[in-house]
Amino acid sequence: MTNNIRILAFAGSLRKDSYNKALIKAAAGLSREGVTIEIFDIEGIPLYNQDLEKDAPAKVKAFKESIRSADALLIAIPEYNRSLPGVLKNAIDWASRPYGDNSFDDKPVATFGATGGSIGTAVAQYHFREIASFLNMHPLEKPQMFVTDAHKKIENGTVVDEETKKRIAEMVDALVKWTKRINSSE
């Protein structure tokens, strides 16, 4: 790891005005000395097919390379039926394969999520932790960030609520600290 911490951020939504894309956009817009946040758009990742995993589609290769070259990951997780949206699980499945070539291995990761509902994607984020455990990621435990009533805090794909912006900044700062801690314990 260099002195500069590179964070790869992605959201599990393809929706143009996605609340979760808005969260990562706000994170990427923060100015932090020695921290770079790059956004990867998972749009265009095809449905997983094990026949193709040894010579994966170009978009999948790009996703895996972006994950590998990042020091940490920041994932905005929408909640669909109390779990991850299929598009996100599909992207994760691709990047975890083929067996022995899991690009998530040993990566510090922070999650947050937004919904118009009242649970704030907590169930989906906890479900993600099971996947993260299997893939040997290192999830940041605190702060947790479950954005409820997102329609009141995010407008046209942009976070407008000051408290939410503050919590995003705290999340990024905590992820940077966590990443340094993980890497110093090698």
Residue 176 backbone phi and psi in degrees, to 5: -60, -45
Question: Are 9 and 28 in contact, with CB atoms under 8 Å apart?
Answer: yes
Smallest separation, CB 54 to ligand FMN (Å): 32
Identify residue 150 by its one-letter amino acid code.
Answer: A
Answer for which of 20, 66, 103, 179 binds ligand FMN (CB under 6 A) is: 20
Of the pair 102, 125, the CB lying nearest ligand FMN is at: 125
**150 Cβ contact list (under 8 Å, min separation 6):** 19, 114, 115, 116
Under the binding rule (CB under 6 A), the answer on residue 19 touching ligand FMN is: yes
Neighbours of 164 (CB within 10 A): 21
142 belongs to the binding site for ligand FMN (CB under 6 A)? no
Site stretch for ligand FMN (CB under 6 A), options 15-23, 33-41, 135-143, 178-186: 15-23
Report the interface residues with ligand FMN, using CB under 6 A: 13, 15, 18-20, 78-82, 115-117, 119
